[in-house]
Amino acid sequence: MEMRARVAGAALLVVGLYASPLSAESTYDKSVEASRLQEADGKQSLAIGSATDAAPQAKVSTVSELCQQVGRKLGSVSTSDCLAAKLTSDGGHSHNGLPMAWVEFPPLAQRQPEGRVLVLGGIHGDEYSAVSIVFHWLKILDQYHSGLFHWRVVPVSNPDGLLQRRSQRMNANGVDLNRNFPTDGWEKEAPRYWAWTGRNKRRYPGEAAASEPETRWIMRQIEAFQPDIIVQIHAPYGIVDFDGNDKPPQNLGRLHLNLLGTFPGSLGNYGGNKLDIPVLTVELPSAGVLPSRREQSKIWVDLVRWLRARLPREPGREVQATVADDLKAAAESGLH
């Protein structure tokens, strides 16, 4: 407990310096990406992170039932851990009817937060560590939330993918949610990129942009919450990635900055480029094995330090109107 107090205290006291903006590359290196696709797919197939292989249910209508399934699936997150997080749902559901749930750490009395931060874990369902580490960070926030930032945290952004009998990157409809966001030029670029991957089913972008209920739910969260920064957790590249017109952190713990590029339909492309909301991607080194407790906390401390350096920031584009237009276009497509 004393160690956790020191770590969290340090996270609230660190101070950084502002620096000049930096935009992520808008293109990708095909040879490098091909190597990464092969390496990541191999790592995913060897990922070992579940306590049991719980069969998915057709309909789970409550957060409590979701937590029971998460507790059975993940060896590092118990049902009681999930319930203690006090997740809530607005009625949004996944393709299979699982609740999309989040927890909020709102402003406190007599303190104006420096900014709003949206944290998304587990957009890819077979990246167990990307869910588990968020539950660990929720324990820190629950005990030490000081009002420095207004947080909204979604630990499980792809519940269907996670809770399949054999967890998968995609949602229950076989769509890679991180290629399904309505980025500029999606209609041409997303199918072209998928064809270049050899029509890798793990990277299928869907029939249309924002065709999936989970994608649209995340978009509605962005529309309502209007985050200043989005933090998403992935695995297993073991780096820090970044999209947007701001200065990224050089490292978070042992993870160092390595810009992967911008991909059609990705959340980083959608948030960082189309909405002008910086998107920080934490890529853990293993999908099935968490970093040590010390390293998890060090990543958190460095993240808070970076957020203090970057917030508050000048408002970007009109987020609500842009997202509303994108949701309307998705509805009019008739493909969901």
Give the count of beta carbons closer than 10 Å to the beta carbon of residue 109: 5
User: pLDDT confidence of 273, banded at 50, 70, 90?
Assistant: very high
pLDDT of residue 68: 96
Q: Do 160 and 98 meet the contact criterion of CB atoms below 8 Å apart?
A: yes
* 187, two tokens: 């209609």
Residue 330's pLDDT is 87
Average pLDDT over residues 129-151: 96
Query: What is residue 162's three-state secondary structure?
Result: helix
Domains and CATH numbers, the chain: 2-7+27-309 (3.40.630.10)
Record the pTM: 0.84
Tens digits of per-residue pLDDT, 274-331? Answer: 999 999 999 999 999 999 999 999 999 999 999 999 999 876 667 888 888 988 988 8
Please determine, for residue 33, whether its predicted confidence score (pLDDT) is greater than 50: no
DSSP 110-125: T---S-EEEEEE-SST
Digit-coded pLDDT (tens) for 205-226: 999 999 999 999 999 999 999 9
Query: DSSP state, 173?
Result: T
**pLDDT over 90 (residue 23):** no
> In the predicted model, what is the mean pLDDT of the chain?
85
Q: pLDDT at residue 20 above 50? A: no
